[in-house]
Each structure stands twice: as structure tokens, then as C-alpha cells.
Amino acid sequence: MQNRSLSRRTILASTTVVAASAAGVMGVTATPAVAHKRDTRLKRIISRMSVEAKIGQLFVPYFYGASATSPSQFDQDRNLRELGVRTVAELIAKYHLGGVIYFSGWTNNIQDPRQVADLTNGVQRASLALPTPVPSLISIDQEHGVNVRIGSGATQLPGAMALGAGRSLSDARTAGRISGTELAALGIHQNFAPVADVNVNPANPIINVRSFGADAREVGRMVAAQVTGYQQAGVVACAKHFPGHGDTGEDSHTELPVITHTREEWDRIDAPPFRAAIAAGVDSIMTAHLQVPALDPSNEPATLSPRILQGVLRDELGFDGVIVTDALNMRGVRTKYGDDRVPVLALKAGADQLLFPPDIDVAYHGVLAAVRGGEITEDRLDESVLRILRVKDKAGLLSGSPYTSLKEVDRVVGARGHRLAAARIAERTTTLLVNEDRALPLRRGQRKLLVVGASPAFPTDDTRTTVPELARAFDELGYSTTHLATGRAPDAAKVDEAVAAARGRDAVVVTTDNVDATSAQRTLVSRLLATGVPVVHLAVRNPYDIAHLGGVPASLVSYCWTEVELRAAARVIAGRVEPRGKLPVPVQRADDPAEVLFRSGHGLSYDD
């Protein structure tokens, strides 16, 4: 197809924001006539794209660096080595990209909100310099809880399982709206959240507290609320990981899991949250790299399965939004095919966005070869590009300036009202599991505390860790606190040090993180109990830890170790607020998994 240049002014004049559902950005449903008129405008943009530009719209790769045009020399070298270019601006120009994804830490994309805004504006300048100048749909994984990309400066909110414990649709929707509002201020308009997986396997190594819980109906209600919150804020929400990753014992980053649910079990356990998301008007759904024989007996990974993506998700569930693959660098989708074939097969299965290919050049040219060879038609490309342009249009990227301003960032990101709302939400999620002889709240005379135990680093800042942050929270409440981080695998010397530190304290608060039958954290808790000093246990991630800790007089769950959750837990322990969370999952006995130790819905108050 001839590639005719299209000015940005022409694009902006030819498109308007059109909400696609009641849960969408504008809060109205597009009539068939309005939708047809919108699609006609968007098809005019597509008609001016070359095949190469259309293929580029499908890809959402990673890149290194905190600047679009002048990253550090170290990041330029990494980009050159892995991507064949020095900057993301060059990457966009080379592959006509429709979007990119930001990560913190290893890619060095995120330092603080102002820097993110500058990076975003640089990405958009590069996108608008393309022969067909369509703004980028910039993506991120900002689930909150254990999975956070933008930390310092942005509002931190409770994660999915904590919100599930709060049982409040209003809180879930508010959390999504706050997060979405801050992301939109940064120019990030696609968030790969919420997680719609139902965590029915306590040993799930990858979903776990990223899920709202184990009850499909409740998970569906929370997913729909979060979708509404995000999309009211102008951000494309993404329910993941279809057709459901909640009952796996393997991590699809490293293996190809198998879901053994029957079709009836899938309909009852896995499908409801995705149905709820679709009913709420979710704009995108992410695939899972796993096998579901009940849905596709060929055992193709769901990401590459026409029966699952086209047959189930599109035809049965009626979803016509953007299907985005989970990261294509994950082992679960690379077990059978080469990196040039995986994106081709994903498109043929029904996917639209191709996330995080391990080698963008191999993936891009694999799709290009498939189009030129007739394996993928240009009409099929147009279908996916149209879906992607619809969500760009809906997010406002095609109807006004895609740039953001530092003034808006300063006004919105981390706003005091957002932080106060996050703190109140977190207080309603902290869950009290055990309170023997009214061990909690701490009594007036219990002023000298030891905070000890596992101390995972904050998701986006490894200079801040759980134990000292929790101690600081108690200090700010007027306690005299000492602290000792013993880690997830304390040796005998570290346990002895903790026992010695407990002497002379009025109470010990011990944190745990993912306790199992062989965990040395069990020894630490047991030895602390033997000191006779009152012990309060706080599971800073999994609610299942308590099953391995006999004799603890007081036990709570915060579901994560971010500052907002730790401070809420401290206020609950101190009696400044009542514990209100209810377990969103059952906790089985460690020695007899068939017996439930704490049922879903369990959660004590100080009046019990």
C-alpha cells in the first residue's frame, strides 16, 4: 500500500474521543451510528499507513533509559546491544511503534514523576515525527501492592488481595480512579491491571496476593469496580490473565503451566471475573501463557490458541476490545516455536497487541514476512490496528495534545487527598486473624517495642525495607521502638540476636513473608514466643503464613509491605483504628490441607 504522509493536524481534526461503554472514559455508551462514524474516521488514518506502519502499531516493546533521546551512556549501550538502536526515539522511528512499556529498576525508565513526564513527552514527540504520526499508547504494570512500577512520588495503594479483604467496591473503584488519574497525568494511558485471576491455589507462585481472592463472584465484582475506576480516569484497563492463571503451581515466566479444570469448572471458577470485566466495558484483556486442555485439546498455549482467543474470548464471551499478549519473552510461550513465529501465531489466534518481544527485530520481521507471504492478510492487520486506534481515541490521544505538563504532574501525582484516601482504604483492609486473650490492641503500658523479622524491600525502592519502615511507623505513633531485620531465612546466630533483643521489651512485632513447612521463620517465631514477651505476628504478604505458626497469640495480615499498608497495620496494632479486613481466601491447615483453619470471610474486630 502506498504510504502517504499524514500531518498531526489532520489526525487530530479527524478523530474525537468516543466512549465505548458505560464504564468508559466519558461514561456513555456509543450508539451504533456514532461508533460507525468513529470507525470511518479511524479507517481513514489506517488507509494512509504503510504495511510497515501497521505492523509497528501492534508492538509494545521495552527499552532502556530515563530519556527518550539522551539516556545515559550505559543505557544507550544496552539499547544498542539488545535493540539495535541507542534510544527509544530511534526505536520508535525504526519500527513505527504504536506503543512502549515502562518498567522500573532494570530498565531505568522510572526515577520520579517529573522525569517520567519528560520521558513520556519525548516518546510522543518521536511518535508524532513518524510518516504517519499517531501518538503512542504508553503502557505500565501498576497493579499496586507487590507489583508497583512508579513508587517514589506517586500515591501507593493497597494491592488486589488487600482490596479483596476490604470487601468494598467503592474502595476498589476509588483506588483504580486515583491510580488512573495519576497515570494519565504522567501521559500513561494503558495499565495492565486489574488481575482477574481467581487464586484458588495457595501455592500459586506468580499470582497469589495479586488476585482479589478465591471466590469467583467476589473477584468479578472487584475487577469490574477497578475497571470502572481506571477507565473513568482516562486509562485503558486490562483484565488479566485470560483464560485464568489462578490455579497454577508453576510460573509461566519459566514454565508452561497446565490448567486441569474441566469446562464446567472453568465456567464456574475462571470465567466469571472476565465476564464481569467485559460487562463493565473493559478496553483490553491480556492472555496467559498456559495450556487449558478443556478449552483447547491441542494444548497450544492460550496466547497462541485460536480456539481460546477467537473461539472463547471473542465468540463466546463477546469481547471485541484489544487482546494483548502477556510478555512474549516468557518461557511459557517460547516452548514450541521460535521468536519469529510466536508473534505471527498470536496474531492468527486473535491477539492485537504484541507485548515485550525478546527480540523486536526478529519479531517485527517475522510478522512482516508473514504478511508479505500471505499468511496474514492486510485486512487482518487492519482489524487489530483499528482496535488499537479505538482505545487511543477513547483515551483522548487522538483528539488533543498527547503531551503532559509538569504543572499537571505536580498538581495530581501524589496529591495529599490521594494519599489520605489510600491510607483510609488500607486501614479497612488490614485483617486480624488471631487475638487470644485480647492481646491486641497494645495496652497503654506496652510502649517499648521490638520490630523484627522478614524485611522485603519496597517494590520500587530497595533502600527502604519492611522492618525499619514498620518501626518508624510505630515511632510516629509515640512508641519507643528498636528493630532488627532477620530476613526470610534467618540462621541460628540471627535468631539468637533477635531473642536477645526481645529482652526488656514490652512487646515484639514479628513480620513474616511466605512461610512454608521448612522455613527458618518458624524457628524465629517459636523462639520469640518462648521468651515470654508478648508477640504480635504480621504476615506482610501471604495470609497463608499463619498455618505454619502455632501458638501465636495475635496475628494479622497486611497483604503487602508497602508504606501505606505497613502504616495501616501499625495503626491497627496500636488500636488507633479497628481491624476491618476479612480474609478473601481460605487458609487450610498446614498438616491437613483438606481442613480449613480460617474460612474465607474470617476477620476479627476488637469487639469480638
- CA–CA separation, 608 vs 600, rounded Å? 17
Residue 13: is its pLDDT beyond 60?
no
State which of 386, 412, 438 marks the end of a domain. Answer: 412
Instruction: Compute the distance between CA of residue 514 and CA of residue 333 in angstroms, rounded to an integer.
Output: 28
Q: Give the C-alpha separation, 451 to 536, whole Å.
A: 10
In a domain, 608, yes or no: no
* Count: domains in the chain: 2
**117 within a domain of the structure (yes/no):** yes
Residues 6+ apart with CB under 8 A from 25: 17, 19, 231, 232, 233, 234, 394, 395, 396
Mean pLDDT of 258-283: 98
Q: For residue 147, which phi and psi values (nearest 5 degrees)?
A: -120, 95
pLDDT at 462: 78
Q: Reduced to 3 states, what is the DSSP secondary structure of residue 595?
A: coil
Q: Are residues 268 and 380 in the same domain?
A: yes
Cell of 87: 534510544
Which is it for the CA torsion 250, 254, 260, 265, positive or negative?
positive
- Residue 9: is its pLDDT beyond 60? no
**What is the rounded distance in angstroms from the CA atom of residue 153 to the CA atom of residue 410?**
10
Q: Is residue 239 part of a domain?
A: yes
Residues 309, 221 share a domain: yes
Backbone conformation region of residue 303, classed left if phi is above 0, alpha if psi is from -120 to 50, else beta: alpha
Q: Is the pLDDT of residue 180 over 80?
A: yes
Whether 442 is in a domain gets the answer yes
Yes or no: say if 114 and 152 are a contact pair by the CB < 8 Å rule: no
11, pLDDT greater than 50: no
Residues 469 and 577 in one domain: yes
Same domain, 141 and 182: yes
Do 441 and 516 sit in the same domain of this protein? yes
pLDDT tier at 4 (50, 70, 90 boundaries)?
A: very low
Q: Are residues 181 and 323 in the same domain?
A: yes
> Which residue matches cell numbers 479497628?
578
Give Cα separations from 352 to 231, 310, 410, 441 (angstroms): 20, 11, 34, 52
pLDDT at 6 over 70: no
Among 11-20, 283-292, 533-542, 589-598, the minimum mean pLDDT is found in 11-20
Instruction: Return the pLDDT at 463.
Output: 82
* Residue 258 placed within a domain: yes
- Over 60: is that where the pLDDT of 28 sits? no
Q: Which of 412, 440, 465 is the last residue of a domain?
A: 412
What CATH number does residue 202 fall under?
Answer: 3.20.20.300
Task: Calculate mean pLDDT across residues 494-516.
Answer: 97
User: Is the sign of the CA dihedral 378, 380, 386, 391 positive or negative?
Assistant: negative
484 and 397, same structural domain? Answer: no
The verdict on residue 558 lying in a domain is yes
Cis peptide before 553 (omega within 30 of 0): no
Tens of pLDDT along 359-385?
999 999 999 999 999 999 999 999 999
Domain assignment of residue 173, given as a range: 8-412
Dihedral sign from CA coordinates of 158, 162, 164, 165: negative
Give yes or no for residue 12 having a pLDDT over 70: no
Question: Is the predicted pLDDT of residue 84 greater than 80, yes or no?
Answer: yes
More confident residue, 568 or 5: 568
Which residues are designated catalytic?
Answer: 253, 326
pLDDT digit string, tens, across residues 566-592: 999 999 999 999 999 999 999 999 988
| Mean pLDDT, range 596-603, rounded to an integer | 97
Taking the alpha carbons at both ends of the chain, their separation in whole angstroms is 72
Q: 488: which residues sit within 8 A by CB, 6+ positions away? A: 454, 456, 513, 514, 519, 520, 521
CA atoms of 509 and 502, how far apart (whole Å): 10
pLDDT mean across residues, the chain: 93
Partners of 285 in the beta sheet?
239, 323
Q: State the maximum Cα–Cα separation within the chain, in Å, rounded to a whole number.
A: 81
Residue 95: which residues within 8 A CB-CB, separation 6 or more?
Answer: 55, 56, 59, 61, 360, 364
Q: Give phi and psi for 47, each to the nearest 5.
A: -65, -20
Q: Is 360 inside any structural domain?
A: yes
Indicate whether 392 and 444 sit together in one domain: no
277 and 328 housed in the same domain: yes
Quick: pLDDT tens for 31-60.
999 999 999 999 999 999 999 999 999 999
CB atoms within 10 A of CB 448: 13
From the list 337, 103, 147, 135, the residue with the least C-alpha distance to 240 is 147
Average pLDDT for 329-351:
95
Distance from C-alpha of 207 to C-alpha of 241, rounded to nearest angstrom: 10
pLDDT surpassing 80 at residue 263: yes
Q: Which residue has the higher pLDDT, 20 or 573?
A: 573
Residue 2 lies in a domain: no
* Amino acid 29: pLDDT: 59
Do residues 383 and 504 both lie within one domain? no
- What is the torsional sign of CA 292, 293, 299, 304? negative
Of the residues 412, 447, 463, which one is the last residue of a structural domain? 412
72 and 200: one domain?
Answer: yes
At residue 421, the pLDDT reads 98
pLDDT value of residue 391: 98
Q: Tell me: do 157 and 272 sit in the same domain.
A: yes
CATH code of the domain covering residue 436: 3.40.50.1700
The β-bridge relationship of strands 284-287 and 457-458 is unpaired
